[in-house]
Structure 1
């Protein structure tokens, strides 16, 4: 999997630290950054990270973790690690944040232009050899992809993992459903930021007031104290970013303005995340992989929260930058394009040159009565399964589970749930999650997906066999008690199901369960309906609700499930009854 060439830069330099370096932008605004560079004579490649948090966060003490460091703790990496090995490292604040002047535009075009100008400034300094890279996760990664789409001449490589690429779909509105807990908690990290209010400046007075009035009349929004505060105090609220997000509840100009043109990127880039980031960064990394044509690689690791400052990727990122910024043969480009951790496999990794994996077999598992999930198609007169969604009584859910698998099965890739649903309400929120159920009954979440019914319109030109692109704009009314077909994208995953394990699909209308982990917490906290309703999932011959799973190994010549006995193999005579339309 990994190359045996490790000709990386040696640790041989002392570190000079210059705090609060002022960098002048073309419009006269000064940005602030902390500069770390070798004490040795000469010119070196530079690594840049840009963010909106206070730079002091890069050096405060960390919580106990596997690898403890004193030089940095957040998302920019350890400057001392790179500088000691012959790199300059600049960590800069976006305008309007930290000590930087101006107004913050929340990843807006001016922020991107600022990064271009910082890159040009770095390349011109006497201690820089003209080659610049970018490193960092989360905010740093997102910003690096934005500027990479403009291809600054001096920007030669990016290590840009853990970065969403669609601000609407990946970060704030999962399937069109507001992720308000993440919004309000993230905004607290920006306390003191001077914000340029996009909606007030761009919508026009009449449209601005119309949208604001709609928010004030929205019972779902006003039931959340932090959101209500932002709406009631629209002129001097706690954080204008919250209000901008609320005033743009559908995909549109506010979000398009911030989305990087991934197809335009020509800068070599390392992508990746972990399987637990299905609620934030993972979808964007796979989107970037599919659209970027520049030299690229991707690593998707186990579902863990990275130690800060991202020690897990220090050596690998050094090999990446040594190759692209110094021209050293580190062997990293000889390694597989895609490296994926297989969950529940004892630490096994799999390699590929393509995504989805070329060995993938897409297979339907149909929803049946009594909570059965089966490859069998429908029996007559199955009907529907219903549950109550009531904020004042009970948030319901339904589960569909396979019988025990007859042999080890692996799924790797995105899944797609096609479900026929009806509601007594004028809106329907659909939450789907995929689980691995062990023989002892314990279960482990793998991934999730979401969709708001009134925003479920599909754009076929942007859809693929494995991914439905919803416009998430222009609401379509829902007729109560009438089944409607919905396609819900399930975020990619990779998991080994041992023989005897079961696959479970869970459908609800809210985040009605306790988060399985800190990372799962990032995928929860969505806006809920205040109006009670009954939701029905239809599963019969006229409404073939099913989840399509990406299977790369398992029983490909027979049935996946035993029909009841965990160890009993299906007979050969039963195989002809299966649907193999896409095999």
Structure 2
């Protein structure tokens, strides 16, 4: 393992030049003696502002890497933080090209051995895989957290071909506001305002881009490393959370990569594992160091002998709204895929079919979905799903007999159905629930499917009304123990607001009696697993930062006079202050999702954001408003941004777009 911790020095503002003249800013933590005893580098490359946005989080990891004998490097991407340029979209080719230049620059520094690893969560996890697929010789190990190898399948834009109403506009709105935050005058100099206004003028809202690509086309294939798994030759440690929708990528990477790969999935949401909520968390820094020590320092840390997958299996006794440690156990699955998991096929029987062989009829005007919580969760209890009984009552459901013994589920469940629709555009939402002995229905996992799409989501065709189709709806990968006495439930609906944007017309979907109707349930043989252990989570180093706790609100209202169901989510980000130089950052967001289930064209999403950055007598504020709605043929988008310096407006713009619907 790594040697005794080294004293660490911090280079706060380092400029890395690109070939086109653009400069990227970095913060670097180094062992004191790195100039005379070079070390490998660990790179985190994201657009979230190293000086304030992620400063506290960075301090929980990177000094530990430096103390363990690495150059820990946190780079703001082009168009973010104090770096030059503009960021025109997520995961653009220039982002990956810049990363290659950063890797070459790092390898050439006198304090670096020339060997580099990449580490990151979410965006940084995505681009770690994307850059590795380009096979730069400097990049010799990747730790990817809460990311995906398929940008269309399970990112915040579409899933199962359904448009994610709860995520697409909110994320675009967030990026519009975050991209609008200014450079720091203390870093870039007196022309900071000129740079800021130029960035505001040139950086577009992203929602319009994403909405013009409603099928899985070349736009989404770019940056999706699952298109060519063989391109990934660097060893990959893939980390996910059971409360995070990207967790399926961990299973796919284990199944498709030829390079050394291991998986780690805990109970947490979209978080680093050492900051896990819900817990229990793990010593993520220690796990990353084991990986990097093996592949950047050639130290035998035992990672090659780890089970293919280490995963937390929670018990089915979780109280909604709880952010404390979940009950359950860690298991190590020696091989993935392997004999420890067997797929069971359980026939669905939602009721006796009538003389025409019809088991059930579902309508998309049923008020279903608001109990599902947030699709993308960050660990705050307000995002948790709540009791599903109300949604279950409006769904086609099969509830199996009480279990005589505990049943462990691990993998990707799927539901196969024989269905027909009375309209040309329709979708399905399928939920797997754990029904407790008191009747509480706990959401385990779910999946969406646009019925007009082919299996690859590359083409869409009108459904023939009345024609029967056999479809399979994959659910998001999961791990869960159904306790003895509990019951497994499958619930199917034709709508799921606000996760899925409604079909343009009220749809009636018929489930036809068929031997094909079944739940495919991956079950775990507990006799073929091990029990992994983890070290204690490391204490955060002392810094000059304070961060107030975030505050979250979520309320759902049902207006019985108008029929509208409205979900409002409010987040107040805790104020960050760097007491060493007085810089502060704070912000808030509010998302409102409203729809009358009886009128699918009433659906609308409205997002507001405010971001404040300041120091002393200098303060900037960015405010954004975004709205998305639709008629039968088009989506309507409006984005508005206002920027102020010390209370005086310096920039404002409104963007409006009408974009044709394509079987959504």
Structures share a fold, TM > 0.5? yes
CA RMSD of aligned residues (A): 2.9
Shift of 1:86: 1.9
Match of 1:538 in 2: 512
Go from structure 1 to structure 2 and tell me whether the alpha carbon gap of 1:59 and 1:273 turns closer, same or farther (over 3 Å shift).
closer
Contact 1:13 1:85 in 2 (8 A): no
Contact 2:293 2:301 in 1 (8 A): yes
Specify which of 375, 380, 390 is matched with residue 365 of structure 2.
390
Contact 2:43 2:117 in 1 (8 A): yes
Match of 1:255 in 2: 220
Contact 2:49 2:76 in 1 (8 A): yes
- CA deviation vs aligned residue, 1:401-433 (integer Å, no higher than 9, x gap): 101122222222112211112222221111111
SS at 2:292 equivalent = helix
- Tell me the distance in 1 between the aligned counterparts of 2:72 and 2:368: 54
Go from structure 1 to structure 2 and tell me whether the alpha carbon gap of 1:379 and 1:368 turns closer, same or farther (over 3 Å shift).
farther
Go from structure 1 to structure 2 and tell me whether the alpha carbon gap of 1:385 and 1:554 turns closer, same or farther (over 3 Å shift).
farther
- CA deviation vs aligned residue, 1:234-276 (integer Å, no higher than 9, x gap): x999943111100010011111222223321111110120222
1:327 matches 2:302: no
Shift of 1:472: 0.7
Match of 2:211 in 1: 246
SS at 2:522 equivalent = strand
Match of 1:366 in 2: 347
Go from structure 1 to structure 2 and tell me whether the alpha carbon gap of 1:335 and 1:533 turns closer, same or farther (over 3 Å shift).
closer
Q: Would you say how many aligned residue pairs link Structure 1 and Structure 2?
A: 463
SS at 1:92 equivalent = strand
SS at 2:21 equivalent = coil
Shift of 1:365: 1.5
- Tell me the distance in 1 between the aligned counterparts of 2:300 and 2:79: 40
Contact 2:165 2:500 in 1 (8 A): yes
Shift of 1:321: 1.5
SS at 1:384 equivalent = strand
1:124 matches 2:98: no
Match of 1:88 in 2: 71
Go from structure 1 to structure 2 and tell me whether the alpha carbon gap of 1:478 and 1:108 turns closer, same or farther (over 3 Å shift).
same
Go from structure 1 to structure 2 and tell me whether the alpha carbon gap of 1:237 and 1:180 turns closer, same or farther (over 3 Å shift).
farther
Match of 1:547 in 2: 519
Go from structure 1 to structure 2 and tell me whether the alpha carbon gap of 1:424 and 1:238 turns closer, same or farther (over 3 Å shift).
farther
- Tell me the distance in 2 between the aligned counterparts of 1:297 and 1:511: 34
Q: Which has the higher contact order (CA 8 A, sep 6+)?
A: 1
Go from structure 1 to structure 2 and tell me whether the alpha carbon gap of 1:10 and 1:58 turns closer, same or farther (over 3 Å shift).
farther
Specify which of 477, 487, 498 is matched with residue 492 of structure 1.
477
Contact 1:77 1:136 in 2 (8 A): no
Go from structure 1 to structure 2 and tell me whether the alpha carbon gap of 1:88 and 1:481 turns closer, same or farther (over 3 Å shift).
same
1:13 matches 2:7: yes
Counting only pairs closer than 5 Å after superposition, residues 337-486 of structure 1 correspond to structure 2 as 337-344=308-315, 346-370=327-351, 382-390=357-365, 396-455=394-453, 457=454, 470-486=455-471
Match of 2:42 in 1: 47
- Tell me the distance in 2 between the aligned counterparts of 1:540 and 1:247: 38
Contact 2:119 2:144 in 1 (8 A): yes
Go from structure 1 to structure 2 and tell me whether the alpha carbon gap of 1:336 and 1:540 turns closer, same or farther (over 3 Å shift).
closer
Q: Which has the higher strand share?
A: 2
Counting only pairs closer than 5 Å after superposition, residues 137-148 of structure 1 correspond to structure 2 as 137-148=121-132
Contact 2:350 2:397 in 1 (8 A): no
Go from structure 1 to structure 2 and tell me whether the alpha carbon gap of 1:350 and 1:238 turns closer, same or farther (over 3 Å shift).
same
TM-score of the two chains, using structure 2 as the length reference: 0.65
Shift of 1:530: 4.4
Match of 2:146 in 1: 162
- CA deviation vs aligned residue, 1:322-344 (integer Å, no higher than 9, x gap): 22222223222222222122221
Counting only pairs closer than 5 Å after superposition, residues 217-236 of structure 1 correspond to structure 2 as none
Shift of 1:399: 2.0
SS at 1:406 equivalent = coil
- Tell me the distance in 2 between the aligned counterparts of 1:338 and 1:490: 19
1:27 matches 2:20: yes
Go from structure 1 to structure 2 and tell me whether the alpha carbon gap of 1:332 and 1:362 turns closer, same or farther (over 3 Å shift).
closer
SS at 1:121 equivalent = helix
Contact 2:96 2:130 in 1 (8 A): yes
- 150-159 vs 302-311, which deviates more? 302-311
